[in-house]
Structures are given as C-alpha cells and as structure tokens.
Structure 1
Amino acid sequence: MPPITDETLWAILNDELDDDTVNRLVWQGLGYRETSDGWDNSAVEALWVEKFPQPPNFIESRPATVQLTRSIPKADKQLLKEELGFKGYTVDQLIPRLTRRATMVSWLLSYRRR
C-alpha cells in the first residue's frame, strides 16, 4: 500500500491511482484485514461491521460512501481545502466516481490526522 501522503491523495483525486488500491487504503484505516480465509473485521467499529461485514467498494456503493462521509468528524470536513487546497471538480467532472474518490480522500485526511 502506498503511504497516505499528499502525493498519494492527489493521485486519488486526479484518478491516477487504481480503484482497488484506493479502496484498500480506506479498508485498512477502517480496520478490515485480509486473511487467507477472507476478511477479518474484528478491528472494525461495530457500526461498520453491522452494515458492511465485508469491506465495501466505495467507488460503486453510494450507501458505503454516505456512511464514510458521516464518519468524518465535523472539525475535519474542510481538510480537502485546508490541507490540500483542493478547489473541487468542475461541473463536467461531477460524476459519482470522482466525487466518491474525493469523499475517500477527505476521510483519509481525517484518518491521517488522528
């Protein structure tokens, strides 16, 4: 896994990092661990395990992305702007895939801050 650096986060925002790697970065932060028998969710918060016993594909799942957004502390909601200077996507870029990537970056910024 790549480290959660500004460079990695920009690669996510710019769609330069593959979806599987982006998902795995978030899964790792949430506590999901891949084992030879499947997924170990014993380190994942109960609220996540209840809704997502297996790690969700955040790029494809709106409910999972909504849950991810809700789990970002209010104090960290502006980290995309404050830490990365991200100004958002243009109107022609407002597609679910990119906006979900931005949500994942926002969550990773909050996770990195802890």
Structure 2
Amino acid sequence: MEAAPAPAPWPLSRALLEAVLADRVSDRFVCELIWPRLGYGPDGAGTWSAGPATDAAWRESFPTEPQVIAERPASVRLTRSIAREHKQLLKEQLGFGGYRIGELYPRRTRRATAVNWLLADLARRGEPLPATGPLPPLLAAPADPVAGHPGDRPIA
C-alpha cells in the first residue's frame, strides 16, 4: 500500500503549546504535532510511517509512529535530537519553570520534552511562534495524570 502524502503539520502557537503542557490534549494529539515534522505520514490504515523526509536514524529505529509520550526510547531519542542551543527554549520562550514535585509524572515530563522539541524545530527553521492560532477541542486535565486521557497509551 502506498503511503498517503504527509498532512500539513498542525500550526503551532503559544496557546497550543501551553495546552500541551497543561495536559489539555491527548497524547496522540501531541504525537501528531511531532510526527509530520519528523517526516512521518499516515499510511491509510491508521498508522503513521516513516517517509522519504524522515531522518535515517529515526526511520531505522522507528519505522512507524514513534510513541514519544508513551515509550521511553522514543522520548529519549526526541530529547537527544534537540540541539544544545535550543535546550532552554521552553523556559526562554514560554517561561516554563517545570512541574512541581507532586506533578512529576513521565507523561508530563515527556510532554515538556515534546514542547521543547517543537520550539527547537521552529527555531531551526527560523520561524516565529505566534501567540495565538487554531486549537483543537480542549480536554479537561485528566483526573489521573499517570494514566492520562481516555485512549492514551500506558507509559512504558
């Protein structure tokens, strides 16, 4: 089956990235912010697969949709792919000081990594971060931040 063309990435904005940090969108949505920017595209069967624009290291390690929130290896790869000069963008651009001790869960720290990677991707391309932009329907923060939203994959 031939892969469908990669969809245009969801437009980023400060408001959207703050919603990610506040756990107001699903883990899948967070992944779908990242996958097209890594060169992954939907294959028509509900899976995202590496495409020609996917970096070889990503394509070899993750031929299909890296679960950057649910799976530690994908999250570690995402962290390591942030250039040193962009490691502090979360703090510098969003003023994010981190989560409090009682809020430190792998899902949330991986969301912070995802947002920092998205900011680094914008910086690498020389694009600004608009203050506002389209938002998906926002969810209530999950009652159990360890489990996440209904449908979120368990954290490994």
Structure 1: gaps (5+ residues): none
Instruction: Kindly indicate whether residue 45 of structure 2 is the aligned counterpart of residue 42 of structure 1.
Output: no
Q: 2:72 maps to what in 1?
A: 62
Structure 1 ranges of 4+ moved more than 4 A: none
Q: Distance in 1 between matches of 2:61 and 2:36?
A: 17
Q: Distance in 2 between matches of 1:53 and 1:96?
A: 24
Q: 2:4 maps to what in 1?
A: none
Q: Is the 8 A contact 2:89 2:116 kept in 1?
A: yes
Out of 2, 6, 22, the residue aligned to residue 14 of structure 1 is: 22
| 1:56, distance to aligned residue in structure 2 (A) | 1.3
Q: Is the 8 A contact 1:31 1:41 kept in 2?
A: yes
| 1:57, distance to aligned residue in structure 2 (A) | 1.2
| 1:58, distance to aligned residue in structure 2 (A) | 1.2
* Identical aligned residues as a percent: 46
RMSD (CA atoms): 1.3
- Larger Rg over CA atoms: 2
Q: 1:85 maps to what in 2?
A: 95
Scaled by the length of structure 1, the TM-score of the pair is 0.94
| 1:41, distance to aligned residue in structure 2 (A) | 2.1
Q: Is the 8 A contact 2:50 2:65 kept in 1?
A: no
